[in-house]
Structure 1
């Protein structure tokens, strides 16, 4: 097929490569405009733009597709279909209707659950047991179109980074399957029940809320790993938590340094939420405790809790 590919982040790159490897003709790639990044704030092309350039495919980076000129240029490509994977711009009706077979989207959730911008993070935060990928025929509504094919995977213990890579590879395989025989994968309307919306992650959500349960804090850590990172603050410095263990009041750590947390296991004693309760950086939550295992100070590498504490002591009794 003659395909227009539309994508922006790393998630989208395996889908682009899969289309090329399957023998389709990608006539153009649309991606968001370069943004300033790094210490020098140089304009940096998106991961998809870099991948397309390496493949020798024309890259277009319009700020919007709402103007008549951009829409005419899109239609002039005379594509059979457009494949969209985390592009990040709204597609107007004129763009959706331009390809002969419309537009297909790789969406990283089990629709209709988690329509919207951040389905992977929202699924982790909500404690969902599973998620997946849908190949959706796009229409004007927000992720409301009929689904041609889906696949599922469990979430337990996975970070957003791990799930993103897994779902990206899964979506690439599914898209190639659908394009290989569209008649065998007709579009089926989404169920009317079970609709939820995956709102864009707000920066305020990334600060750890110690009034939550240890289980919910652990989900927050996984949902924001690797970026933007769940964090707490000590002495005016932000420290990201990239992995942690949890303990409920009825359990014991059975780990070095846990003895000093004995008071926290006494039902008559109550540490304050967000208080460090031992020399191993165990932190009290609304219910239960967490023990960070991988952390990162601003501008530094990822370290274990033991390594962090050697150069940056956080004594018991510290409120974080």
Structure 2
């Protein structure tokens, strides 16, 4: 098929690679413009732009697709379909209607659950047992379009980073299957029941609240790994916990350090961090961290 690909972060790269490997004619790659990154704030192309340039594909980085010029440019591509994966721009109706078969989206949830910006994080935070990836026919609403194909997976004890990587690969495979025979994958309307919204993660959510249960705290840690990171404060410095085990514990003050291994009491149970990161430093095993920065038993963390 003659298509355009529209995506920005690392999550979208496997889909781009899969489309090229399957022999589709990718005539344009749309992605977010380069953004300041790292300490030097140097303008850095998106993961999709970097990969597209490696593949020798033409790249477009419009700030918006709402103006007539951008829409005419897109329509002139004469596309069979547009494939979208975490692009980050709203697609106006003129863009959705331009390709012969419309726009297909790779979405990392089991719609209609977790429509919106942060479906993987929200699924983990909510304690969902399963998540998945869907190929959805896009329409003007927020992730409301009919679904053409679905793959489900167990969440288990995986982090957002781990799940996102797996969903990216599964979504790429699923999109190739759908494009091979769209008639065999008709668009089926989403059920009206079970709709939830995956709001963008607020910075205030990333501070660990030890007045929650150990299970909730551990989910928070996994949901915000690798970024932005779930954190606590000690001596006016932030520390990110990147992984932790849940342990039984007698009732203590929430946030109290119970031993020399940094086991921390929650309202019910306790967590023991396994990987921790001090601001501006690399992540390290907790025991290694404690050798350089001991946190005494009895300390109350918040």
* Shorter-normalised TM range: over 0.9
- Out of 290, 293, 296, the position equivalent to 1:312 is 293
Instruction: Say yes or no: does 1:293 pair with 2:274.
Output: yes
For residues 1-320 of structure 1, what are the structure 2 equivalents within 5 Å? 1-249=1-249, 265=250, 270-320=251-301
Q: CA deviation at 1:248?
A: 2.8
Q: CA deviation at 1:305?
A: 1.2
- Structure 1, residues 275-298: CA drift from partner, whole Å, max 9, x if none? 112111011111111010110111
Partners of 1:282 and 1:214 in 2: CA distance: 11
Query: Equivalent residue of 1:57, what SS?
Result: coil
Structure 2 residue runs of 5 or longer lacking an equivalent are none
Q: CA deviation at 1:150?
A: 0.2
- Structure 1, residues 85-132: CA drift from partner, whole Å, max 9, x if none? 000110000000011110000000000000000000000000000000
Partners of 1:62 and 1:286 in 2: CA distance: 49
Deviates more, 1:271-280 or 1:236-245: 271-280
Partners of 2:130 and 2:181 in 1: CA distance: 27
Query: Equivalent residue of 2:133, what SS?
Result: strand
Q: CA deviation at 1:31?
A: 0.4
Q: CA deviation at 1:271?
A: 2.0
Partners of 1:202 and 1:40 in 2: CA distance: 25
Structure 1 residue runs of 5 or longer lacking an equivalent are 250-264
Q: CA deviation at 1:40?
A: 1.5
Deviates more, 1:105-114 or 1:36-45: 36-45
Partners of 1:173 and 1:306 in 2: CA distance: 40
Partners of 1:11 and 1:38 in 2: CA distance: 19
Partners of 2:252 and 2:267 within 8 A in 1: no
Q: Which residue of 2 aligns with 1:261?
A: none
Partners of 2:78 and 2:255 in 1: CA distance: 58
Partners of 1:174 and 1:272 in 2: CA distance: 48
- TM normalised by structure 2 equals 0.98
Q: Which residue of 2 aligns with 1:260?
A: none
Partners of 2:208 and 2:230 within 8 A in 1: yes
Partners of 1:202 and 1:21 in 2: CA distance: 37
Query: Equivalent residue of 1:238, what SS?
Result: strand
Query: Equivalent residue of 1:273, what SS?
Result: coil
Partners of 1:248 and 1:83 in 2: CA distance: 47
Moved over 2 A (4+): none
> Quick check: which has more Rg, 1 or 2?
1
Query: Equivalent residue of 2:140, what SS?
Result: coil
Partners of 1:38 and 1:311 in 2: CA distance: 26
Partners of 2:83 and 2:248 in 1: CA distance: 46
Query: Equivalent residue of 1:296, what SS?
Result: strand
Please tell me the root mean square deviation across aligned C-alpha atoms, in Å: 0.7
Partners of 1:39 and 1:145 in 2: CA distance: 39
